[in-house]
Structure 1
Amino acid sequence: MRKLGNQENEVSRLQEQLSAAEVVIVGAGAGLSASAGFDYTGERFSRYFHDFGDKYGFADMYSGGFYPYQTLEEYWAYWSRYIWINRYQNPPKPVYNALSELMQEKKYFVLTTNVDHQFQRAGVDKERLFYTQGDYGLWQCSKPCHNLTYDNEEQVRKMIEAQGFVIDGKGQLTLPQGVRPAMSIPTELVPYCPRCGKPLTMNLRADDTFVEDAGWQTASERYTAFLREAQHQRTLFLELGTGYNTPAIIKYSFWRMVSRRPKAFYACINLGEAYAPAELGAKAVCINGDVGEVLKALADGEHV
């Protein structure tokens, strides 16, 4: 494993490869959303979850998501806030929009382990997307007794409003001054499976109960077909903010395909984890930097 060269030179090389590419395959991980401002700690956590943090002693959204709440009413009070701000609100920074604009003139496909659905919010065609790990906007049976998922926006909105929050015309979540939010939702808003009556849960890959519904299967088939069609074309495999939590999905598969395809090139943009196998040699470029800043530099033709 090696970390590649001078950053300014690497950005220039990536600009050249992007311009020359007939096809771009984007692999997006958590670092892309982090660059867009989806911080799960700090001020953003305090703004929406300080009451839960004060009561239970956790200081980040992930910990709160795994906390063993005593009731489903409290569980969904927490998760409805979590879902809304990370799925239905626009990100603080327009990084996804910048990527979408950069891809407009290209034949491309996006493979992502992110579950915040921000690509479609930025205008990316859903037929060019494969969300491998699920979607904050979908529920499934917790058993599961069947392979269907359920859109949750309307129900989550009701849960949010029942806690005292207000959702404005742009989808932004606010709390009126002086209002102390409820930490539970009315029992009638708790979602249950319409078939077996078990509680619904998030459609997020955590174990073998994850539901790969018809939409997931179709997206997987589209991605496979896209890869097959592009195998003899000049292809840029562009990895953005992907770490080592699930490296086999994007990182390792990209390395393998680039090594086997004569016209393929690998680019990795990642703050602190920009690496590539030494075996890729001149077929790889790695940029250790903020994904959003590098995308802007690519769009502007500048260095970061």
Structure 2
Amino acid sequence: MTQDLPEEKSRAAAWFRALRDEIVDAFEEVETRHEDGPRADQPAGRFELRDTKRTAEDGSDAGGGLMSVMRNGRVFEKVGVNVSEVHGRLSPAAQKSMAARGVPGIAENPSFWASGISLVAHMQNPHVPAVHMNTRMFWTPGAWWFGGGADLNPCLEYDEDTAHFHSTLQSHLDPHDPALYPDLKRWADEYFYIPHRGRARGVGGVFMDDRNSGDWEADFALTQDIGRAFLPAYLPLVERRRGQTWTEADKEAQLVHRGLYAEYNLVYDRGTKFGLATGHDPDAVLMSLPPLAKWV
């Protein structure tokens, strides 16, 4: 059995909140700076904040978080940056799923604690790629682990954007172990694949789950560097593309690609399933869905 790890839990939750604050500030600054180009005459977008709650099956308080969403900005059409810290007992379905994954002791004791950050950005300009990032820590009486990653989801692909995104992620992972980036890239390629479409939802990134090397400090440091890599990996792409003009055909391609993104998140995404199965605020769980999408 693992220890309760109160200090480690507190440090992880505080880190996710600090990363959330940094990203929110950076995205609002992008909105402020966009004074020339498409939609520059619109008000600069700002995040709306709402506390979220998780309610246990017996009606008791089981934690919650902060939902931060910007809608209809100059650059961001919809972006959410959510943080949460929840606890309680897993539902029978979630308990069964984790037991099948080999989580130690979960079949006997379904108690859990989890904290993390989840980000999804859908952009006004079809030339600016959508993006996803999340990192999290999970604890049960029998185990602890980290998970998460980041992946890029352009509807109009630019090789130089993909190369920058991946090289930045790699530069943050290599100091931990040069074998990590190719391993986590391969994991992302497999995880963010849509079987019923026979294709990936984007151009990949990095992903990990159930990360427990036995060294909590090392795994936490790796998780932090995945989070630290996000802004330098993504913001230069926003700056490069946000002033480009677009056509109706470009917007059509964006809406169709968003349909693909929605299909993945609703059918396959493990975080979506876990959030809904454990009673977390459904608006926060489904924050990842785009404001508009299209199917052909």
TM superposition score normalised by structure 2? 0.29
Structure (1/2) with the larger strand percentage? 2
Greater RCO structure (CA 8 Å; 6+ sep): 1
* Greater Cα radius of gyration, structure 1 or 2: 1
